[in-house]
Amino acid sequence: MAAMTMAHPEFRELVAPHLTALFRSAYRLTGNTQDAEDVVQEVCVRAYTHLATLRTLEQPKTWLLKIAYRVFVDGLRRRTRSPVRATAEDFDATRSSDEPTPEERAEAELAERRLLDALTKLDREQRALLALQVEGYTLAELTAMTDLSADVLKARLYRARVRLGKLLAANGKAPTLALVK
């Protein structure tokens, strides 16, 4: 069944250059690597069925991110999994040689968890807008991804940030790991 694999090298070529950007946004949407991959795969599944559209696009990345946005906001497949958390998903080949100590790592994880925990309390659209905005996309790109007008977008982004900031403040500073020493 090699033919199955080789059927659409074109799809690979069209998608591969944008995969990192897609994964980064998906990670910000979901807060963990596995769910992010889930989103990316779903995007690829949907994009593949629109290969004809994909090959005509001037901005395939924006289009792919638009799908990612919809996938996330519409709610990906429900899964019995504990709430979003960010920890080292696997033992990570990418960690640099100045590896943080376990304590440092645990502390960074706590700070991340606090942020990701607060993000889960936003509604999905708010979270998605923040995720894509923080990834560096411009308002023009965001309007293309979300089909919102620039004014609505700006207002919602601001409200989302205010809400997130207040959630974070309510949670207090990231706790430190006094116990580990």
Partner 1 sequence: MSCNDVASVLDSHRIARLGPAERAKIDLHLAACADCSAAWDAQSELLALNVPLMPAALLERALLASRLPQSAPARRARMPLMFGAVLLAGAAAAAVTLSVLREQSLPTVSSPVVEQTSAPATPERAADEPAARIDAASAAPQGDGVTSVELVETALSIAPIVRRPPDYPLEALKQRLAGNVQLKFDVTAAGFVENVSVVNSSDGQFEEPAIRALSAWRYLPRIVAGKRVAAKDQHTIIRWELSKDNEPPADQRQVDAKQQAAMREYAAFSDDLVIALDRLAGDDLRGSELQLDEMQAIYGAGYPDLWGFYGYLFTVQGNYDRAIDAYERTLATFAARGQPKSGPWVPLANLYFARHQYDAALNTLVRQRALYESGRINNEGENTALIAKLRALGLTHESLETP
Residues lying near partner 1 in the complex (CB under 8 A) are found at 1-2, 4-5, 7-8, 11-12, 15-16, 19-20, 23-24, 27-28, 33-34, 37-38, 40-41, 43-45, 47-48, 81-82, 87-95, 97, 99, 102, 105-106, 108-110, 112, 115, 130, 133-134, 136, 138-139, 154, 157-158, 160-166, 168-169, 177, 179-180
Given the complex with partner 1, which of 73 and 110 has the nearer CB atom? 110
User: Which of 58/98 has CB closer to partner 1?
Assistant: 98
Nearer to partner 1, 52 or 91 (CB): 91
Per-residue burial over 59-92, b if 16 or more Cβ lie within 10 Å, else e, is ebbbbbbbbbbbbbbeebeeeeeeeeebeeeeee
CA dist., res. 27 & res. 108, Å (int): 17
What are the φ/ψ torsions at residue 131 (nearest 5 degrees)? -60, -50
Task: Tell the smallest beta-carbon distance from residue 34 to partner 1 (Å).
Answer: 6
- The CB-of-59 to partner 1 minimum distance in angstroms stands at 18
- How far apart are the C-alpha atoms of 22 and 38, rounded to whole Å? 11
Q: Least distance in Å: CB of 150 to partner 1?
A: 10
Min CB(58)–partner 1 separation in Å: 22
Residue with tokens 């894509």: 132
- Cα–Cα–Cα angle for 154, 115, 67, rounded to 5 degrees: 50
d(CA 16, CA 40): 11
